[in-house]
Amino acid sequence: MKVGLFIPCYIDQFYPNVGIATLQLLEKLGCDVSFPLNQTCCGQPMANSGYASYDGGCDKNFVNNFSGFDYIVAPSGSCVLHVKEHLQDDANKEAALQIRSNIYELSEFLTDVLKVKNIAASFPYKVGFHNSCHGQRGLHLSSMTETVSPSFSKPLQLLNMVKGIQIMNPKRNDECCGFGGTFCVFEEAVSVKMGKDRIAEHDANEVDYITGVDVSCLMHMEGILKRNADKIKTIHIAEILNSQL
Amino acid sequence: MKDHASLAQEFITDEPRTDWHDETLWFVRQKRDKAAHGLPEWEQLREWASGIKDHTLSNLNTYLTQFEAQAKANGIQVHWAFDGEEHNRIIYDIIRKNNIERIVKSKSMLTEECHLNHFLQSNGIEIVDTDLGERIVQFRDEAPSHIVLPAIHLKKQDVSETFHKHLNTEKGNNDPQYLTEAARIHLRDKFVASQLAITGVNFAIAETGGFVVCTNEGNADMGAHAAPIHIACMGFEKIIPKAEHLSVFLRLLARSATGQPITTYSSHFHRPRPGQEMHIVIVDNGRSKQLGRKDFRNSLKCIRCAACFNTCPVYRRSGGHSYHTAVAGPIGSILNPNLDMKANADLPFASTLCGSCSNVCPVKIDIHEQLWKWRQVIVAEGYSPKAKTISMKIMSMVLARPAVYRFSGMMARKMMRLVPGLFKNKLNPWYKQREMPEAPKDSFREWYLKNKK
């Protein structure tokens, strides 16, 4: 099974450990993983700001890097959703369409494609789970409190396989953290207030870590946690699933 | 004019009040969840409601003319208004013709949209809002901050002060029972004396020529039953084909709005009582234009339940007035750019695109997707700030060129380590209340080349 590893730009630059954990985890699970060396960004920052028309170059580069894989996997629900919904390349329509249907967020790839039943990981900590909106409401990684449907969660299904972990859900289980791409700077006040409110619920649960499938939400909450000298740390789900503590 | 971001920032300055606002509306959202989860057929009802509205929007001409003919046959006078100005003029003409001086009005967001109160007051005519929340904000000369809960931005202390000033209630008496009683006595006089009652319309039924007005306070009925003239104002999208469709919409409306199984009063009006005059004003005011916008037409399915307000994490923390329009919240952010794109260019950006609004919408409007699409339109029409356009252009050029991206990334990380002051300063909105992420020496790619290749 040939898997193309997509490490979104800001993870590549600021959170290499998330990329490393994702790669090691996929290899442990028997995937033949390649990391196309000329990848950059999915184009979401521009598109969500209203500049989807500037995404031609990004899209073309993405298609050049990721054509021909059985699957493309990324440790980010948000970037995967963007590619699924918006990737296009007029010179290479077929390839773009194929990428859109073959791209997976890491946890759904593990539960739906690899059908992982157990993971040799241990993480003896109290962990708060953050449902990131694009993963949850966009990719349907879990059921949502608004809709009337059976409850499930692909990321929690995986985290529950980890030895020693104690998972705590915040009171409002699927409220947005306020990152929202460029929203986090253009609507700074609301963005930070939303983040603080999410953190307060994890504080109340006295967790050691906040985890989730999107590094962007975690980066935003990490920024607030550090500023307020909160002892909670953030960690991506791949790093927990790849842990041997 | 201040934009949403700066108005929201002002709102948040009072953090305990923001928390109270957020928690109050979250409580309403939870009541809605409980009501929705109590109906196994909830998702089916949403599907039906959406389907009926889609069908109606595609056959508006048929249903509106059918409605007009039926209503006229029932003895109702039907008026058509192209815009808010014509709507106000029609009402003003009826007032003048009948020498009316005292008017009561129950909740109608359409009249807010058309600025009817202001128009009538500037013509020397008193109009009294009879919905309790609307009366409170009217006393304070404020706009409603929420389409279902107009005074939700106010605490009982604020109401007490307002009533002390306008109704001469005891200073400092914050007892809700006492304050409501004062409003009841005050409004009772207004109802009895009124010569004209204006109401909104929740649903107009094509096959019967009748219409339904939903209130929890019975104030629409009090007004319409006491006054010799009743004018009902409706946006043309309020039409539904058949009375039986109410069995879908009335079940969804109150559950979505407040978590009640049904609105306290769902009043069906079909014809004037003997000696009464009944008018309906059917308003376009930009709706035809929205109907012609392929990506945004289905925003006209909205039944004004405000579920999207209550669930919106941004609305709950920024308050209705930060949207600077009659209809605030996520639905307002997709309706208002149609009315005035330049003045409302900020609204589609007042969202994290979390998608919760679309999930609670009882008529399945893809609100968050329309917010995304409005952003594209606003940029294409040139209403985005220049500086943003330039930075996006540069960013897209960098990200389209792998070598340039890698060089810029490497340099940025280096600068963050060597000259942190470049990033850790007041000009960086990220840094105002958040630390910057650590800049690692190696990117993932650099690690990969060293360790894997």
Residue identified by tokens 């009802």 is B45
Q: Report whether pLDDT(B257) > 90.
A: yes
All residues of chain B having their beta carbon less than 8 Å from the beta carbon of residue A53 are: 376, 379-380
Q: Which two tokens stand for residue B48?
A: 């039906």
CA distances from A227 to A172, A223, B417, B435, B437 (A): 23, 6, 18, 5, 11
pTM of the model: 0.97
Length of chain B in terms of residues written = 453
Burial code of B55-75, b = ≥16 C-beta within 10 A, e = fewer? ebbeebeebbebbbebbeeee
- A175 close to B (CB below 8 A): yes
Q: Which two tokens stand for residue B414?
A: 């280096």
pLDDT digits (tens, 9 = 90+) for A187-212: 999 999 999 999 999 999 999 999 99
pLDDT digits (tens, 9 = 90+) for B188-206: 999 999 999 999 999 999 9
* A 132-161: CB under 8 A from B: 133-134, 137-138, 144-149
CATH no. for B39-285: 3.40.50.10420
All residues of chain B having their beta carbon less than 8 Å from the beta carbon of residue A219 are: 437
CA angle A140, A141, A142 (to 5 degrees): 85
Cβ-based neighbour number of residue B242 at 10 Å: 13
pLDDT digits (tens, 9 = 90+) for B408-448: 999 999 999 999 999 999 999 999 999 999 999 999 999 99
To the nearest 10°, report the CA torsion of B216, B220, B221, B226.
140
Q: Which two tokens stand for residue A178?
A: 């306020």
* A 91-110: CB under 8 A from B: none
Q: What's chain A's average pLDDT? A: 97
pLDDT digits (tens, 9 = 90+) for B130-175: 999 999 999 999 999 999 999 999 999 999 999 999 999 999 999 9
Residue of B252, B354, B370 to mutate, interface with A, max A Cβ within 10 Å: B354
Domain ranges (residues) in chain B:
39-285, 394-451
Q: Inter-chain contact B396–A138, Cβ cutoff 8 Å?
A: no
CA distance B446 to A16: 9
Mean pLDDT of A230-242: 98
Mean pLDDT of A69-98: 97
pLDDT at res. B302: 98
Work out the minimum CA distance from B437 to partner chain A, whole angstroms. Answer: 7
CA distance B188 to B400: 68
pLDDT band at B255 (very low <50, low <70, confident <90, very high): very high
pLDDT band at B453 (very low <50, low <70, confident <90, very high): low
pLDDT at res. B452: 83
Nearest to residue A158, comparing CAs of A203, A119, A125, A197?
A119
Nearest to residue B56, comparing CAs of B66, B70, B46?
B66
Residues 6+ apart with CB under 8 A from A2: A32, A34, A68, A69, A70, A71
Nearest to residue B149, comparing CAs of B356, B365, B304, B359?
B304
Map residue B293 onto helix, strand or coil.
coil
Mean pLDDT of B339-351: 97
Q: Inter-chain contact B434–A20, Cβ cutoff 8 Å?
A: no
Q: What's chain B's average pLDDT? A: 97
Nearest to residue B250, comparing CAs of B48, B24, B38, B54?
B48
CA distance A143 to A125: 25
pLDDT band at A66 (very low <50, low <70, confident <90, very high): very high
CA distance B60 to A54: 38
Nearest to residue B315, comparing CAs of B43, B24, B112?
B24
CA distance A233 to B438: 13
Q: Inter-chain contact A133–B352, Cβ cutoff 8 Å?
A: yes
Q: Inter-chain contact B12–A12, Cβ cutoff 8 Å?
A: no
Q: Which two tokens stand for residue B136?
A: 């409170």
